[in-house]
Amino acid sequence: MRPLAADAIQAARRRFAEDLRFKTRMTSQALFAAFATVPRERFVGPNPWLIQGWGNYWVTEEDDPRRVYHDTLIALNPVKRINNGQPSLWAYYFDQLGVRVGTHVLHLGCGTGYYSAILAELVGPQGKVVAIEIEEDLAERARVALVPWPQATVLCRDGAHGPFEPADFVVVSAGATHPLPDWLAAVEPAGKLLFPLTATENLGIMTQLTRVSATSFAARLQGGVGFIEFHGARDPEVAIRLLDAFRHNRTSEVRSLRCDPHGRDESCWLHGAGWCFSRHDPVAAENPAPASEVETAPMHGK
């Protein structure tokens, strides 16, 4: 097959971005430009590409980069079911996140770096993206693919454990049963944490936390999602209680994440050790509970 002209691929990227803008009601022109500019084929490897369809993968037949510019998942490691994620999902939540020029983003579970590149476009040369991936082969692919974005750095390490450099935005690309302490500690004042809160791989909700104070975050749980599990961010006991909360409690009731010591009460949507999704509004001032009221539950998970 004759190589495609650059303008034909650029036109496909532009149509791809237009489709994402229409599907997600995208408001950020910078985000639109990022999807219209970043070459997805650079991050998903050479043809043939494995496209995830209805329950399984199918293989592309043509060596045509335009095939990757659809709103589909593309396999990075089909054995481990690691994909380059759904573009419309990330377009929707990145638009809400509001990443700005000059800010610092921590991207955990970056895969081969495609969405790290989108974030790097948003922060610009003045900003910084630290992309972390535990799979050595994927991290190396991400390092190579992200060379055109010097503001992006790739580290091969466990994203479940810090310490991490403080960031304005923390983005997690695999499912956790609860927010990890090191993730929360990395969020700057007024910064945001975006992660899939998942009871199982097929049942979860995207969660956005905005820091209000040292121990209080505004919380927004919105949109059903399915993600592979984030190694080190899973607690089987919490997963059972989270599944029950999804089935019986309205996620719209959650207003905040509390990290202050307090006893379990009716305001707790899901109460954990050191964290609690709460029906109370977030508070800017710290009001620690009396020692007699502090619950001393054991810490679960890693």
Q: Give a yes or no: residue 173 inside a domain.
A: yes
Q: Give a yes or no: residue 65 inside a domain.
A: no
- Rg of the chain in Å (alpha carbons): 20
pLDDT value of position 4 = 67
Q: Give a yes or no: residue 56 inside a domain.
A: no
Host domain of residue 120: 82-293
Which tokens is 186 given?
């990395």
pLDDT in tens, the chain (302 residues): 445 678 999 999 999 999 999 999 999 999 999 999 999 999 998 888 888 877 677 888 777 889 899 999 998 988 888 999 999 999 999 999 999 999 999 999 999 999 999 999 999 999 999 999 999 999 999 999 999 999 999 999 999 999 999 999 999 999 999 999 999 999 999 999 999 999 998 899 999 999 999 999 999 999 999 999 999 999 999 999 999 999 998 999 999 999 999 999 999 999 999 999 999 999 986 444 433 333 333 323 32
Please return the burial class of 21, using the count of CB atoms within 10 Å of its CB with bins 0-12, 13-18 and 19+: buried
pLDDT value of position 50 = 85
**Is there a cis peptide before residue 48, judged by omega within 30 degrees of 0?**
yes
Amino acid at 60: T
* Contact criterion met (CB below 8 Å) for 244 and 232: no
Q: Strands of 57-59's sheet, edge to edge? A: 57-59, 50-52, 74-77, 82-84
pLDDT value of position 296 = 31
pLDDT value of position 64 = 85
Q: Give a yes or no: residue 220 inside a domain.
A: yes
Q: Give a yes or no: residue 282 inside a domain.
A: yes
Total structural domains within the chain: 1
Give the position of tokens 């999704």: 277
* Contact criterion met (CB below 8 Å) for 197 and 204: yes
pLDDT value of position 247 = 93
Q: Give a yes or no: residue 191 inside a domain.
A: yes
Question: Taking Cα atoms as reference points, which of 184, 176, 296 lies closest to residue 232?
Answer: 176
* Contact criterion met (CB below 8 Å) for 124 and 100: no
Q: Give a yes or no: residue 41 inside a domain.
A: no
pLDDT value of position 268 = 97
Which tokens is 301 given?
């998970």
Amino acid at 191: G
Q: Is 203 left (phi over 0), alpha (psi -120 to 50) or beta?
A: beta
DSSP string, 208-255: EEEEEETTEEEEEEEEEE---B-TTS--HHHHHHHHHHHHHS-GGG--
**Is there a cis peptide before residue 163, judged by omega within 30 degrees of 0?**
yes
pLDDT value of position 249 = 87
Which tokens is 23 given?
């599907």
Q: Is 125 left (phi over 0), alpha (psi -120 to 50) or beta?
A: alpha
CATH code of the domain containing 101: 3.40.50.150
pLDDT value of position 51 = 86
Rounded Cα distance between 193 and 100, Å, is 15
pLDDT value of position 288 = 41
Residues in Cβ contact with 265 at an 8 Å cutoff, skipping those fewer than 6 apart: none
Q: Give a yes or no: residue 132 inside a domain.
A: yes
Rounded Cα distance between 187 and 38, Å, is 27
The 3-state DSSP class for residue 275 equals coil
Rounded Cα distance between 280 and 37, Å, is 42
Strands (E), 30-127: 50-52, 57-59, 74-77, 82-84, 104-108
Task: Please count the residues of the chain.
Answer: 302
